[in-house]
A and B are shown apart, each in its own frame.
Chain A
Amino acid sequence: MYVVSGHLLEPGAAARHPAQLHCDQHALALHSEVKSAECGWRAVQVSDDLGSLPRTLTFSDGWIFTPQDVPAFNQLLHQLRGRSWLQRLEGSLRWILLAMVVTVVSGFAVYRYGVPWLSQAIAPHVPISVLELMGKQTQVVLDHAGFTPTQLTVQRQQQLQQAFAQLLAELQQQHMAFRVPPKLVFRSFEQGPNAFALPDGTVVLTDQMVALARNDRQLQGVLLHELGHLYHHHMMTRLVQSSILSVAAAMMIGDGSGVADTLSGAGVFLMTMSYSRDHEREADAFAASVLRTQDHNTEALASLYRLLLADKKEGAVPVWLSTHPGLQERIEALQQARE
């Protein structure tokens, strides 16, 4: 039989009443001027085993017993009632180190494989009406961002449309299907050569890109890259990815301060950028595989990237802050794909 001194608190009253607790492995007895009780351990609620936090006993009628000598009582409870596995986990250095390693590894695995995999699984099932809505939305934004109607002649446009249709026909022969039939549109964009794909299947090619290319095969290489984005549902995947990451970060930080929020926001941004670079590589690989079956090399796209490299002042933005991998790296990747 162990004796513990402490005080009792009546439910809903802040005054303290001196009390003594007598207990052993099976039962406990409480003695005080205001209340006495005898019961088994099952009838009391022992507060959480959490670090060296003072533990208290709550009786079924709401009275709380608080010990005076906290460390001694905590030790007694461990002796009589055992330790919770959580407390063991949280308290042992070995488990903490293991938890750290597992956390870092699984965190990295979730970021590297989990989120991309989940997003790629969700993206193809987004209703087509949503894709169309997003496409329309983006076009409106583009028109405000300096994109103007094309200056290409009707004849030139028809040529390129034909080249595009030819590509699509060849892809179909290779049984590569698109959820939404891709279509090609032209825009002029003062700030330089560009091309991109919208979620609704629209591929935008700028007049400046057409002007930069030495031949139509190079342009077909660019179009194949954009079709790669469409084939892999990249725009939708990216949207899902950034949503998952933002929600996950908000949950992790939870009750964080402003600084933690800002840092996690920056982290999410950097991760999204790295996902975007992965998508660019994937689209390049798509274009490369098609070019290889047709031309037996990837020169069409690689040579265009060389033109772009000469045209652009690269290095303005560090790669880790960019949506695209460095052009030099992409050219090298394409040339390796030739083998």
Chain B
Amino acid sequence: MEPQVTNHDATLTPPSTHGLRFKGTGKEYFGIWIVNVLLSIITLGIYSAWAKVRSKRYFYGNTQLAGDHFEYLATPMQILIGRIIAVAALACWSLLNNLQPVVAGVVALIFVCFIPVLAVRNLRFDARMSRFRNVCFDFKGGYVEAYKVMFFYPLLGYLAVSVVVGIVGVIFFNPRTLILAIVLGSIVGLAAMVWAYAWVTAALHRYIMNNYWYGNQAFSAEIQQGQFLRIALAAALVFVVLVAVLLAVLGVTGVFSLSSLSSLTTGGTESVADIYTLMIVCYVAFALVGVIISSYSRARVHNYVLSQTRVADLALSSRMPVWGYVGLVLTNVLLTVCTLGLAYPWVRVRSVRYVSEALAVQGDLSLQQVHGSAGQGQVAIADELSNAFNIEVGAF
């Protein structure tokens, strides 16, 4: 190899826009993933900790910004210890649920009370295990604030919605105006729900984004509730339109299947099977509507929150095409189902590429002023517990 003249300044000239690049490929990750699955099966799950670290490192390392890549620092042993504890907890809970449903219910209730603690520790672990240019990220959100945004606000939101609906019900409850009461109740209820959703999610994102740190530099994000209200209203509109279309389609096909429904009374077994087919079709259709709505609002929230974020004189911006993202998620579902999960590596890679390449950073990337920790050890108990019990919060 010949000595090369380096030209670092090209990537360091301030202030300019730097896009995130994702260099991973589905083909390459497929090899890593299939070997992960194979070794996990052979070692009865023990290798899964190494597998997790390998695939995390693959995705972090392939995410590159101005010539440097992100790093995932957790070691397999940290993950393994956390994972063993989480699996034991999951097994105990599954047994308890079968043996003593009442006790299991009480345990679940106690567990729910600890979700904010787990979520904070999970955020902190993930942040501390992430590194860029030899400086770690951190999450310094307090527990009190976490209980407020993850517990108290949602509760208050539910309460507010039920109070509003209740008031409408009391005012209009009258046999003569029953239909009016129902219509008004649902309109006011829906409006209250949209408002409560915006209020709760805005507070949650404000809490999360303003508590991340990159070394000695705090993240800051000015999150407006109004923007979330707009997103929620748009999502509600999309939902109404989709459901209307769906009902129209089902109504038309329903007329045709009416003839087979009437033969049910004669006891034909085929028509009974027809009803099951119809039920499954309805279920799948509504599940798809759910996927569309959630990915639509997720994309818009993601774009908004990240574009409001600043750290160390850098401004972030995310310009992900919203309907493009919805299409991505839908095709992912299709790919996963059609290949019985074998397309999972491609699905992961194309999702991560889509999301990360939409992200850009504006400003001086020489980062002279950024100092901090280069990494420390910690056991992944909360991380694994929250994975095992499906607790997910986060803005990325």
Q: Which residues of A contact B (CB under 8 A)?
A: 2-7, 9-16, 18, 20, 47-48, 50-54, 62-64, 66, 68-69, 72, 76, 86, 89-92, 95-96, 99-100, 102-103, 106-107, 110, 130, 133-134, 137, 239, 242-243, 246-248, 250-252, 254-255, 258-263, 313-318
Contacts of A106 in B (CB 8 A): 38, 41-42
**Interface pairs A-B: 8 shortest CB-CB:** A315-B269, A14-B370, A9-B134, A14-B367, A11-B374, A90-B31, A53-B61, A14-B133
Nearest-CB residue, chain B, relative to A107: B41
- Nearest CB on B from A277, distance (A): 18
- Nearest CB on B from A144, distance (A): 12
With A102-B38, A263-B337 as given contacts, are A12 and B54 in contact (CB-CB < 8 Å)? no
Q: Mark B201-222, 1 if CB is under 8 A from A, else 0.
A: 0000000000000110000000
Contacts of B98 in A (CB 8 A): 134, 239
Q: Which of B4, B54, B368 meets A69, CB within 8 Å?
A: B4
Nearest-CB residue, chain A, relative to B215: A14
Complex-state Cα separation, A243 to B67, whole angstroms: 46
Complex-state Cα separation, A58 to B40, whole angstroms: 29
Q: Is the CB of B134 within 8 A of A313?
A: no
Q: Is the CB of A318 within 8 A of B273?
A: yes
Q: Is the CB of A251 within 8 A of B134?
A: no
Contacts of A90 in B (CB 8 A): 28, 31-32, 35
With A66-B68, A239-B98, A254-B52 as given contacts, are A13 and B370 in contact (CB-CB < 8 Å)? yes
Task: Please tell me if B246 contacts chain A, counting CB pairs below 8 Å.
Answer: no
Nearest-CB residue, chain A, relative to B37: A103
Nearest-CB residue, chain A, relative to B48: A251
Number of inter-chain CB pairs below 8 Å: 190
Q: Is the CB of B94 within 8 A of A51?
A: no
Q: Is the CB of B341 within 8 A of A250?
A: no
Complex-state Cα separation, A138 to B61, whole angstroms: 52
Task: Please tell me if B143 contacts chain A, counting CB pairs below 8 Å.
Answer: no
Q: Mark B100-116, 1 if CB is under 8 A from A, else 0.
A: 11000000000000000
Task: Please tell me if B87 contacts chain A, counting CB pairs below 8 Å.
Answer: yes
Complex-state Cα separation, A52 to B215, whole angstroms: 28
Contacts of B6 in A (CB 8 A): 5-7, 18, 68
Can you give 23 contacting A-B residue pairs, CB < 8 Å? A5-B4, A12-B134, A12-B215, A12-B372, A16-B8, A16-B12, A20-B3, A48-B57, A50-B54, A50-B58, A53-B62, A68-B4, A68-B6, A76-B1, A106-B38, A106-B42, A110-B41, A137-B100, A243-B91, A247-B91, A252-B37, A259-B336, A263-B337
14 new A-B contacts at CB < 8 Å, known A53-B69, A86-B54: A9-B134, A11-B374, A14-B367, A15-B367, A47-B71, A50-B61, A53-B58, A53-B62, A90-B31, A96-B35, A102-B38, A247-B94, A251-B83, A259-B291
- Nearest CB on A from B286, distance (A): 13
Task: Please tell me if B323 contacts chain A, counting CB pairs below 8 Å.
Answer: no
Residues 137-163 (chain B) with a chain A CB within 8 angstroms:
none
Complex-state Cα separation, A130 to B99, whole angstroms: 7
